[in-house]
Structure 1
């Protein structure tokens, strides 16, 4: 896979406070458009206790679906979409210089057969893992992979704590915060 895509411009939409009592404190919402897919996308950077952002995106046309992060469009342009998502990292580091980041390669949901991919080593995770490991080096971030849940963490080495300790803290916080994943 070639990784030299330019990506698209991210446009800030809003900062949304979260008051559900969880470690998820607020979200930054951005939008971008792909001329290749002719779709608009929403990128969400969910800020959590522990100076951590979970990065997510979905096609705007799926915004009302409970499965918005699981649906695929089959229109291509994956490289530009992923580069665009990564563009939020330096933007957020400008305001949160010690922040760490993470994502999950969501399970794919097929609306026609009503089948959902398993949690472990999803097809999206495989692509995201390869992409992120090539685009984001190890100078600022230590990389952690979790095939069993298709998760990936980038622990900021400027976080003031040993990255291995920070990783364990974030894994614990994420397990408590995201314990209600949907099933069809």
Structure 2
């Protein structure tokens, strides 16, 4: 697996919005014949939650930028490169949880994959579980119906006896954000 170096771009701030700001990052694949540049968006919500999204830079203006496949066959390198932003963001937001939605793929004949437990969700979930399963700072939750998952930050957990309640409560709190992300990613206008 190869991790591509990421570059930090200027942060976009919003006033009075549910999303407080979006931290932007970029990296370039070095795979021969597929030297694509990618944009990572880390949307910071007002409930100590950060949604991570990424797309190929060439698709920035496309309504289907999250669904478009590159056919570079390097999903592990790309996703793991995107995950490099989590430690950076934890320095700024030490109590925040993180999540993502696996977008539906589009076939060449413009047919969409199912939004439930889609291929990207299965792959991203496997990578996230491998990366964070031993990390006691987080609890992993998922929604197969939304092809969404999150790692819940446990930094504010006071008593280990409250773990299940805390995780369920936090998951319910971020569920609205996940549905917003789900709708944007699965149903581009």
Distance 1:75 1:59 in 2: 11
CA RMSD across the alignment: 1.9
Q: Identify which range, 161-170 or 131-140, moves more after superposition.
A: 161-170
> Which ranges in structure 2 are unaligned for 5 or more consecutive residues?
159-165
Q: Please name the residue that 2:92 is paired with.
A: 95
1:7 aligned to 3, 27, 39, which one? Answer: 3
| Contact 2:101–2:182 (8 Å) recurs in 1 | no
Preserved CA contact (<8 Å) 2:40 2:53: yes
1:70 matched residue in structure 2: 67
Please list every run of at least 4 consecutive aligned residues from structure 1 whose deviation after the TM superposition is greater than 3 angstroms. Answer: 172-181
For the 8 Å contact 1:143–1:153, the answer to whether it is kept is yes
CA distance in 1, matches of 2:156, 2:91: 14
Calculate the TM-score normalised by the size of structure 2. Answer: 0.87
Check whether the contact 1:23–1:177 (CA below 8 A) recurs between aligned residues. no
Q: Which 5+ residue runs of structure 1 have no aligned equivalent? A: none
Aligned to 1:33: 28
Report 1:1-184 matches (<5 A).
Answer: 5-19=1-15, 22-36=17-31, 37-110=34-107, 112-137=108-133, 138-160=135-157, 162-175=166-179, 179=183, 181-182=186-187
Distance 1:14 1:88 in 2: 14
Aligned pair count? Answer: 178
Q: Which has the higher helix share?
A: 2
